[in-house]
Amino acid sequence: LDVEAVLKAAKDTGCEAVFPGYGFLAENPDFVEACEREGLVFIGPPARVMRLLGDKISARKAFKAAGLPVVPGLEEVSSPEEIKKFGEKVGYPLIIKAAAGGGGKGMRKVTGPAEVDDAFEAARSVAKKAFGDDRVYVEKFIEGGRHIEFQFLVDGKGNAIHLGERECSIQRHHQKLIEEAPSTYLFPAQRKEIGNMVARAMREIGYVSAGTMEFLFDEVGNYYALEVNARIQVEHTVTEMISGIDIIRKMIRIAAGESLRMFQEDVVLRGHAIQCRINAEDPKKNFAPSFGKITFLRQVSGPFVRTESGIYQGWTVPPFYDSLLSKICAVGKDRATAIQRMKRALMEYELWGIKTTIPLLKRILEHPDFVSGELTTTFIDENFEVLTDYVEEEEEVFKVAHFIAEVSALGKNPSVF
């Protein structure tokens, strides 16, 4: 977050370029301009485009101008009364969102006019605290929808391609937990149509670099553009695993002024990949943050499995910032194979000392609706009791250790007498 410290470190070490990853400064146009003033290349989209797409209201207008469908909504909302009138027109539920928002922050669902006043004020308050901007807009809430996003690449020479889609419907609190590519929902013709539409729209907007366009699909197949993530995504891994394309490498080459050196017909997607996010959260307590010392850690690796992590045994997980600890990715010739490899990877992954999402992820992978590909953004909410009905493995280990200690002390099995 300390722009000056980042720039000083870059200059002191002789850097020519800055790559922000998916961190705090990744979608900050002021940081992009600060890099340019210091003669540093920012590996990502231009500040102008970042500002356009970072403001969800201006982004909606840009999407419509480019011919992309958007969810019915109001782009300028200044009072609860406007929302109530819109609700009378299109029906409830509605969702109020922060204009400068992202990551699920500042969202408030309303199911009727009685909830609008409080939700409006709450959304504005969160938006102000999180983004320094209390503007909000409202959209029709799509019940039982699927969250599907398209990865795209655009160079500075007018070339644009897409790398297919990712299924991101498994979420809690509007934030993703499991991502996979491709989606089981789309037919090849749909993938081609929507992907080409995205690539064309991003070229027209003036986007340069890698990015992702998020869509919401309703239960009858209608789809709506939600937003563009003007950065690399946490889940870019699954796209890399089925396309064989190193997206980070492409971003660096584009920033260096090179062309894509490939066309849409060169993109071939093979197999299926799944990513699970290991978060420092307690699913049983509504995903409350879990922090403390990692007392034991064994991560996984091997053929068909990819782990990205920045943690180690003995590290103390702080209560600040994002809860993501590591990512596990598995790839297979088909979805069933990828699921089996992911289940094996999660079984072998051991992390003690704090609560994580690992037990929940195991339960999700075994759920019949997940296995069949029947996914919606409300999957976890609808199956919460079943998914959190597990016993922590660490608890079981301690029970066994306690039993062994009793046997050693008594010289006999205490449960027999």
For residue 262, the tally of other CB atoms under 10 A from its CB is 14
The answer to whether the beta carbons of residues 97 and 138 sit under 8 Å apart is yes
3-class DSSP state for residue 269? coil
**Per-residue burial over 143-157, b = 16 or more CB atoms within 10 Å of its CB, e = otherwise:** eebbbbbbbbbbbbe
Indicate the pairing of strand 288-289 with strand 316-317: unpaired
The residues that are catalytic are 231
The residue to which tokens 């260096």 are assigned: 256
List 147's β-bridge partners, or say none.
216
3-class state of residue 285 by DSSP: helix
Can you tell me whether residue 355 is helix, strand or coil?
A: coil
Q: What is the token pair recorded at 193?
A: 């149509």
- DSSP code of 231? S
Amino acid occupying residue 296: F
User: How far, in Å, CA of 320 to CA of 342, rounded?
Assistant: 28
Query: Around Cβ 324, how many Cβ atoms within 10 Å?
Result: 19
Q: Supply the DSSP symbol for 302.
A: B
Strands (E), 35-119: 41-42, 73-77, 94-98, 108-110
- Report the C-alpha gap between 349 and 327 in whole angstroms: 11
Of 92, 100, 20, give the one whose Cα is nearest residue 58. Answer: 100
- 89: part of which helix (H) or strand (E)? helix 80-90
CA distance 220 to 70: 16
